[in-house]
Structure 1
Amino acid sequence: MATVAFLGLGVMGFPMARHLAAAGHDVRVFNRTESKAKAWADAHGGASAPTPREAAEGCDFVMACVGNDYDLRSVCLGDDGAFAGMSAGAIFVDHTTVSAKVTRELAEIAAAKTVGYVDAPVSGGQAGAENGVLSVMCGGSEVDFAAAEPVMQAYGKIVKRLGAVGAGQTAKMCNQIAIAGLVQGLSEALHLAEKSGLDGEALVDVISGGAAGSWQMVNRHKTMLADEYEHGFAVDWMRKDLAICLEAGDDVGASLPVTALVDQFYKDVQKMGGGRWDTSSLMKRLKAFE
């Protein structure tokens, strides 16, 4: 069992930290809204800390799951940042979806302090976090990954190293690209079915077991057919991720035309007031643009 700090108790971080405590780890938590950290500690044991530095002091591992590049820098750097409290030999594990640029930047700073660094973005959404079955895509040294993997297994169905620091974030970008294209295709299929008078549920029963089947189809078709989107991974966050995807594509010379197109479709959804809707709301955009 390890002493672990968890920074960021949003819809993903709150249950991820809970799984760590349930696995027997000594968990300390930090959240910008301190009352949420105290509520977590009251519910699940462990302790809350007023700053990332105080949460990280004396810990074997420091996990973070925050919003974006800026948020990650803010919990890592400065006098109150986690790096200021971490001891040599400790390992920082970042579950945030951020750019490879900030990942490499922070990994270099960590290395100068003899602190390990693993970038480990996750996929599986809030349900995956709640149920402890996330897919965790990792980048980092083999030594750091080997040390951190058993801890991450508390909430990971699969925890896999893809390469050196930054590889995890690149894998997450591939994941988001695949999701964006799938959701648009599923939206168009269900939209055509509705316009043609087909029963959407019956259609999914037929095609979900074949080559067209996907997680999105199985888990999102019911709410899409019911025009319900107040759940799941928000469009605002997906656009943040797709911007990182497109920048990464430019950096390495990869052509991402479908990603760029679907990103603009999500921009339309934002203009419709759907920034907090689930990413499957591409279906609603099709109906609005009939």
Structure 2
Amino acid sequence: MTGALPTVAVVGIGRISRPMVVRLRRAGHAVVVTNRTRERALDVADETGARVAGCPREAAESADIVIVSLADDTAVREVYHGPDGLLAGLSPGVTVLETSTIAPSTVTSLVPRVLERGAVLLDTPVSGSVELAARGELTVLAGGSRTALDQVRPVIDVLATRVLHFGDSGRGSVMKLVVNSLLLSLGTALAESLVLAERAGIDREAAYDAFTRSAAAAPFVLYNKDNFVTPRDAPIHMTLALVAKDLTLVNALASSVGAPMAQLEASRALIDRALAAGLGEHDGSVLAEFLRGSR
């Protein structure tokens, strides 16, 4: 790595990766950003002083570490390949941190392609909210070389307070889907329970306060209070469309290993009904609003 601090490229500027850029710049890193919708890259560059690259290749050419944060497998594959793709810009010694929530098979298919460039790819999806990202308190679920992971810990530690390593490439992505399976089921149950309390005559905010003061007070419940209690005023954490995308990935993983997923099937049925009602671009907590209008 060159210089006192490694230069970091961030490919894909979304709800979680944007505060990552802010934290990296505050920590003194030179940061290069690129995004398919250029306005997002320009916006975070205006705030932080990051440099904007015209394409993933250009972003990777000047980087010691590349963080990729994209919505789905299709976007990831498109970013890596082609004359202006990420692979074309990688130099020997670069480490790629693939933080996107994608199929483990997508990760493992990219590992040898990155290795051909003399670089290393680690799957490092993160768990946590936008607020946790802003505070640098994410959890990294890592797969790939432990040695490579240790080498980039100074950068990861700017973004996360916990780094959990699960072994070979793809295992971090497996664990992200497992964690999301639990969280997405929890989100469905949270929506159902809140509406149940309301219909039984309990004030919405009082009911949610009880959730946060009981055995149900998981971090997911705590940081989603505004989204469930005052949904029209709260920021989007994760759209229902992305929730559905993740459930599809979880289902594919479960099918590949023969794991029964009765809860997933029930959650997916409800989510599909909400998607059919046109709620895909709302926060996942919109399920409570959807249930309030159902009988």
TM-score, L = length of structure 2: 0.91
Pair 1:212-2:216 in alignment: yes
RMSD: 1.8
Distance 1:35 1:281 in 2: 27
Structure 2 residue 288 is matched with structure 1 residue 262: no
Q: Distance in 2 between matches of 1:246 and 1:46?
A: 38
- Out of 282, 286, 289, the position equivalent to 1:284 is 289
Q: How does 1:173-252 map to 2 (within 5 A)?
A: 173-226=177-230, 228=232, 231-252=236-257
- What displacement does 1:288 show? 2.5
Deviates more, 1:27-36 or 1:256-265: 27-36
Contact 1:78–1:84 under 8 Å retained in 2: yes
Change (3 A) 1:278 1:88: same
Shift, 1:107, TM fit? 0.9
Tell which deviates more after alignment, 196-205 or 19-28.
196-205
User: What is aligned with 1:149?
Assistant: 153
1:230 shift after superposition: 6.1
Q: How big is the shift at 1:86?
A: 1.1
Deviation string, structure 1 residues 128-184 (Cα, Å, up to 9, x no partner): 223322222111111111112221121212222222111111111111111122122
- Separation in 2 of the partners of 1:67 and 1:84? 21
Equivalent residue, structure 1, for 2:15: 11
Per the alignment, do residues 33 and 200 of structure 1 end up closer, same or farther by CA in structure 2, a change over 3 Å counting? closer
TM-score (norm. length: structure 1)? 0.93
Q: Partners in 2 of 1:222 and 1:4 — Cα distance?
A: 33
Gaps of 5+ in 1: none
Aligned 8 A contact 2:15 2:237 in 1: no
The number of equivalent residue pairs is 290
In the alignment, is the contact (CA less than 8 A) between 2:9 and 2:59 conserved in 1?
yes
Structure 1 residues 201 and 83: CA distance shift in structure 2, 3 A: same
Structure 2: gaps spanning 5 or more residues: none
* Residues in 1 aligned to 2:211 and 2:160: alpha-carbon distance in whole angstroms: 29
TM superposition shift of 1:121: 1.1
The residue that corresponds to 2:174 in the other structure is 170
Alignment partner, residue 37 of structure 2? 33
Cα distance change of structure 1 residues 73 and 132 upon mapping to structure 2, 3 Å threshold: same
- In 2, are the aligned partners of 1:29 and 1:47 still within 8 Å (CA)? yes
User: Which aligned runs of 4 or more in structure 1 are off by greater than 6 angstroms?
Assistant: none
Given that residues 190 and 225 in structure 1 are in contact (C-alpha distance below 8 angstroms), is that contact kept between their aligned partners in structure 2? Answer: no
Map of 1:75 onto structure 2? 79
